[in-house]
């Protein structure tokens, strides 16, 4: 088990925005975390697609939790910076964010994340790519 799993689950439960978005933890491994959230009117933009802000929120959180899996048990992280490329409209029923650590470090942790949309027929496609930096706090 990943040492920080209980802290990550607790964090997810206490993050107001992630609760607002109904985000959940799917899988958690060393350096990798997958989160998901339903696509609802509360997370959409004017055409019914997921708002870039919701996509970012899920991907940023998956990235941060991935960083926590490679850190000491009492550590937390903050996002220093994050870049997102939105590569397709997110129209579907569920969003999946796969965060991973690409470079762990004592002072900084570099992460990437791919966000996918799942359609009603179960197919998926990538909707966003993220690359960012986390700092232990």
Residue ranges binding a copy of itself (CB under 8 A): 10-11, 14-20, 40-46, 51-54, 56-58, 60-61, 78-89, 102-103, 107-108, 110, 112, 126, 129, 131-133, 135
Give the C-alpha separation, 34 to 41, whole Å: 22
Q: Angle at Cα 72 formed by Cα 70 and Cα 73, nearest 5°?
A: 110
Strands (E) across 4-123 are located at 24-29, 32-38, 77-86, 94-103, 109-118
| Shortest spacing between CB 118 and a copy of itself, in angstroms | 18
| Shortest spacing between CB 3 and a copy of itself, in angstroms | 18
Task: Report the residue number, 52 or 124, with the smaller CB distance to a copy of itself.
Answer: 52
Task: Report the residue number, 13 or 30, with the smaller CB distance to a copy of itself.
Answer: 13
| Shortest spacing between CB 128 and a copy of itself, in angstroms | 9
Residue 92: helix, strand or coil by DSSP?
A: coil
Give the C-alpha separation, 8 to 4, whole Å: 6
Task: Report the residue number, 5 or 110, with the smaller CB distance to a copy of itself.
Answer: 110
| Shortest spacing between CB 110 and a copy of itself, in angstroms | 5
Tokens of 4: 């920080």
CA distances 107 to 8, 79, 110, 130, Å, are 20, 13, 10, 20
Task: Report the residue number, 69 or 133, with the smaller CB distance to a copy of itself.
Answer: 133
């Amino acid at each position: 088990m990943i040492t920080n799993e209980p802290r990550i689950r607790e964090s997810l439960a206490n993050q107001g925005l992630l609760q607002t978005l109904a985000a959940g933890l799917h899988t958690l491994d060393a350096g990798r975390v997958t989160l998901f959230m339903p696509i609802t009117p509360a997370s959409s933009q004017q055409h019914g697609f997921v708002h870039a802000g919701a996509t970012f929120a899920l991907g940023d959180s998956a990235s941060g939790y991935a960083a926590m899996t490679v850190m000491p048990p009492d550590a937390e992280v903050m996002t220093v910076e994050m870049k997102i490329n939105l590569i397709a409209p997110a129209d579907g029923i569920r969003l999946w964010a796969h965060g991973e650590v690409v470079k762990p470090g004592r002072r900084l942790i570099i992460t990437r994340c791919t966000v996918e949309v799942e359609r009603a027929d179960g197919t998926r496609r990538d909707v966003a790519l993220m690359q960012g930096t986390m700092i232990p706090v």
